[in-house]
């Protein structure tokens, strides 16, 4: 049996980076709860898959990489960074063609080898600056 950190890493690589949404149910429960949902995110696994499809549509070269993890009991904390080129509308922002690098952390709680609830904290402010929506300080 795989440990929880390995399950989260595999979900990140196979579903998020490679974009294989058909594999998502192997890693995430149908009734997964997103504690901090994206604007407009629907409930459960389908809501999560919609968000991931939206990210991949907006950033088709999306690479989501875990930089470090801490795992204890049923929880896994992952510090991540993702990169991509803004080629489609994301969070209401039309494509800019700009490359972005975004950091964040996610806390996943697993039950029986699948993610049951999750909480993502991501540098949306920095993303908006990189996409040119918000001027960097001093400009």
Residue of 15, 122, 55 whose CA lies nearest to 7:
15
User: 120-139 burial, b if ≥16 CB within 10 A, otherwise e?
Assistant: bebbeebbbbbbeeeeeeee
Tell which residue, 124, 132, 65, has the closest CA to residue 98: 132
pLDDT single digits (tens) 44-65 = 999 999 999 999 999 999 999 9
Banded pLDDT at 136 (limits 50, 70, 90):
confident
DSSP state of 22: G
pLDDT of 138: 80
DSSP string, 93-126: BPP---EEEEEEEEEEEEETTEEEEEEEEE-HHH
Instruction: Kindly report the number of other CB atoms within 10 A of residue 64's CB atom.
Output: 23
Beta carbons of 80 and 104 less than 8 angstroms apart:
yes
pLDDT on residue 2: 80
pTM: 0.93
Domain 4-130 falls under CATH 3.40.50.261: no
pLDDT in tens, 5-45: 999 999 999 999 999 999 999 999 999 999 999 888 999 99
Q: Tell me, what's the pLDDT at 128?
A: 96
At 63-105, the pLDDT tens digits run 999 999 999 999 999 999 999 999 999 999 999 999 999 999 9
At residue 39, the pLDDT reads 87
Residue located via tokens 């540098």 = 123
The structural domains of the chain, with segments of one domain joined by +, span 4-130
pLDDT of residue 1: 61
């Amino acid at each position: 049996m795989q440990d929880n950190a390995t399950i989260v890493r595999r979900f990140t690589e196979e579903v998020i980076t490679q974009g294989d949404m058909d594999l998502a149910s192997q890693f995430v429960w149908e009734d997964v709860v997103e504690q901090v949902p994206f604007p407009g995110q629907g409930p459960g696994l389908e809501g999560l898959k919609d968000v991931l499809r939206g990210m991949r549509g907006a950033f088709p070269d999306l690479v989501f990489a875990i930089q470090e993890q801490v795992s204890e009991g049923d929880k896994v904390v992952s510090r991540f960074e993702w990169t991509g080129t803004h080629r489609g509308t994301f969070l209401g922002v039309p494509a800019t063609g700009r490359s972005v690098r975004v950091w964040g952390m996610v806390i996943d709680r697993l039950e029986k080898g699948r993610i049951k609830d999750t909480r993502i904290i991501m540098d949306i402010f920095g993303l908006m600056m990189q996409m040119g929506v918000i001027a960097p300080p001093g400009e």
